[in-house]
């Protein structure tokens, strides 16, 4: 739930900064001292009349009324030597103080209404795209999501990790458009994916279901948006086999981290979702044997297409060995590095999802690889280096857990 807690302040609004609450008191002390060391024919006390309006932006009605009363006292009591307000001058200062209290009351009420509205919006957005749990079955997870549109939690990127009867499945996608305009498509894809995790035995069938969902929504959509599409990558960790299956639908390929070695997984990308992927045939599925130290980083193009001030793209693969430490903190380290690279963060939505098998129950080895080949569907393609990985995994079966 870390993502929800971190974003809560940004979405609901934060209290005034500490300096805004201290400023009226500091100004009051400075003006009083300045008046005390100033010759008697120069009056600086009337500047105190500006303090209640300033206090109204940081304090509630009671705090603003305190400042207004203190100013009236300092200006209305000549023996204090701060001011000599009389008659209409004192009435003007009192009117300013009263108006400041009203402003503070209105501001506090509007803030409460805004917090209420944003709380509802936050709950709705987190229901569409909840934070990734730290563990789903035997798969450890770490995710990070940043929407491009300020003040929102959900944009045009999506991710999810779900356990079902056919193993743990993960989805990372990027729909057409970004910001709140894409939230409806994100919700539709996530709903279809969660159903497919329970119903579809093959990973290619999951992709086909997502494709049909987008094609149906596109056909029923408004005429000004005749084409609706999304890119996505799907991962599946079958139970007890120590391998991962991957399907790419026009999406950037996952990165595999093995120690400090980073390589892009060789996945043949199919067409994006929503363009009739299911009609010509199922998308190609790649199988890889998984070692205990393997980690898979899925990302959207908001990461790799982010540019620095000189126009260079962010080199994710080459930066991973530099920022990689413990798996749980890797995605946040990547985000900090990306924010520094782009001087504040990219202008597109960003989704990062790191997955790795818990070393206590991976079951890697040649026996697992043999069972996998026997059960693999006809359209599944084993990567050229998967056999070498399976043999190496047999030798590493007694190695350490995830780095």
Lowest mean pLDDT among 176-185, 256-265, 296-305: 176-185
Q: What is the pLDDT of residue 150?
A: 74
pLDDT at 200 over 60: yes
Could you give the angle at the alpha carbon of 111 between the alpha carbons of 108 and 117, nearest 5°? Answer: 145
Look at 8 and 234; give whichever has higher pLDDT. Answer: 234
**Segment 371-391 mean pLDDT:** 40
Q: What is the pLDDT of residue 98?
A: 93
226 DSSP 8-state letter: -
Report residue 114's pLDDT band, with 50, 70 and 90 as the boundaries: confident
Spatial contact of 190 and 128, defined as CB atoms under 8 Å apart: yes
Q: What is the pLDDT of residue 315?
A: 92
Q: What is the pLDDT of residue 77?
A: 78
pLDDT at 263 over 70: yes
**Segment 108-136 mean pLDDT:** 84
| Cβ-based neighbours of 242, under 8 Å, separated by 6 or more | 289, 290, 357, 362, 363, 364, 365, 368, 369, 393
pLDDT at 33 over 80: yes
pLDDT at 10 over 90: no
**Segment 192-204 mean pLDDT:** 94
380 DSSP 8-state letter: E
pLDDT at 169 over 70: yes
Q: What is the pLDDT of residue 111?
A: 87
**Segment 222-242 mean pLDDT:** 81
Look at 177 and 266; give whichever has higher pLDDT. Answer: 266
Look at 371 and 154; give whichever has higher pLDDT. Answer: 154
Q: How far apart are CA 184 and CA 192, in angstroms?
A: 13
Percent of the chain residues topping a pLDDT of 70: 77
Report residue 322's pLDDT band, with 50, 70 and 90 as the boundaries: confident
Q: What is the pLDDT of residue 214?
A: 87
**Segment 210-232 mean pLDDT:** 77
pLDDT at 383 over 50: no
**Segment 334-355 mean pLDDT:** 89
| Mean predicted lDDT score pLDDT of the chain | 79
Q: What is the pLDDT of residue 398?
A: 42
pLDDT at 100 over 90: yes
Q: What is the pLDDT of residue 191?
A: 92
Q: Up-side HSE of residue 273: CA atoms within 13 Å toward CB?
A: 34
| Cβ-based neighbours of 111, under 8 Å, separated by 6 or more | 13
Q: What is the pLDDT of residue 178?
A: 63
Integer CA distances (angstroms), 340 to 263, 309, 336, 337, in order = 23, 11, 6, 5
Percent of the chain residues topping a pLDDT of 90: 32
Look at 402 and 227; give whichever has higher pLDDT. Answer: 227
pLDDT at 14 over 60: yes
pLDDT at 361 over 50: no
pLDDT at 199 over 80: yes
pTM of the model: 0.68
Look at 312 and 403; give whichever has higher pLDDT. Answer: 312
Q: What is the pLDDT of residue 225?
A: 53
Integer CA distances (angstroms), 254 to 234, 251, 299, 309, 355, in order = 10, 9, 7, 26, 10
**Segment 176-192 mean pLDDT:** 80
Report residue 102's pLDDT band, with 50, 70 and 90 as the boundaries: very high
**Segment 334-360 mean pLDDT:** 87
Report residue 135's pLDDT band, with 50, 70 and 90 as the boundaries: very high
Among 213, 220, 167, CA closest to 186: 213
């Amino acid at each position: 739930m870390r993502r929800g807690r971190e974003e809560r302040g940004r979405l609901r609004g934060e209290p005034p900064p500490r300096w805004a609450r201290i400023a009226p008191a500091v100004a009051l002390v400075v003006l009083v001292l300045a008046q005390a060391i100033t010759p008697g024919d120069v009056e600086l006390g009337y500047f105190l009349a500006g303090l209640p309006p300033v206090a109204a932006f940081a304090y509630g009605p009671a705090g603003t009324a305190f400042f207004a009363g203190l100013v009236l006292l300092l200006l209305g009591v000549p023996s204090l030597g701060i001011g000599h307000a009389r008659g209409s001058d004192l009435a003007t200062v009192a009117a300013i103080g009263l108006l400041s209290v009203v402003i503070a009351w209105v501001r506090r009420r509007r803030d409460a209404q805004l917090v209420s509205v944003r709380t509802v919006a936050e709950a709705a957005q987190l229901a569409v795209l909840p934070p990734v749990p730290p563990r789903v079955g035997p798969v450890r997870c770490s995710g990070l999501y940043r929407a491009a549109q300020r003040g929102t939690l959900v944009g045009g990127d999506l991710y999810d990790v779900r356990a079902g009867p056919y193993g743990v499945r993960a989805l990372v996608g990027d729909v057409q458009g970004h910001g709140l305009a894409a939230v409806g498509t994100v919700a539709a894809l996530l709903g279809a994916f969660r159903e497919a995790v329970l119903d579809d035995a093959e990973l290619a069938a999951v992709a086909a279901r997502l494709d049909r969902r987008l094609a149906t929504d596109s056909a029923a959509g408004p005429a000004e948006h005749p084409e609706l599409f999304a890119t996505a990558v799907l991962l599946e960790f079958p139970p007890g086999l120590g391998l991962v299956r991957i399907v790419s639908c026009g999406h950037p390929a996952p990165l595999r981290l093995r120690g400090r070695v980073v390589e892009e997984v060789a996945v043949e990308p199919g067409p994006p979702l929503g363009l009739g992927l299911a009609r010509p045939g199922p998308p190609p599925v790649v199988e890889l044997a998984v070692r205990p130290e393997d980690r898979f980083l899925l990302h959207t193009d908001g990461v790799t297409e982010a540019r620095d001030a000189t126009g260079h793209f962010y080199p994710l693969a080459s930066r991973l060995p530099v920022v990689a430490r413990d798996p749980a903190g890797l995605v946040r380290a990547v985000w900090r590095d990306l924010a520094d690279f782009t001087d504040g963060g990219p202008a597109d939505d960003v989704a990062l999802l790191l997955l790795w098998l818990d070393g206590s129950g991976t079951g890697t080895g040649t026996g697992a690889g043999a069972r996998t080949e026997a059960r693999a569907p006809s359209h599944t393609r084993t990567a050229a280096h998967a056999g070498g990985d399976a043999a190496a995994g047999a030798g590493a079966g007694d190695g350490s857990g995830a780095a």
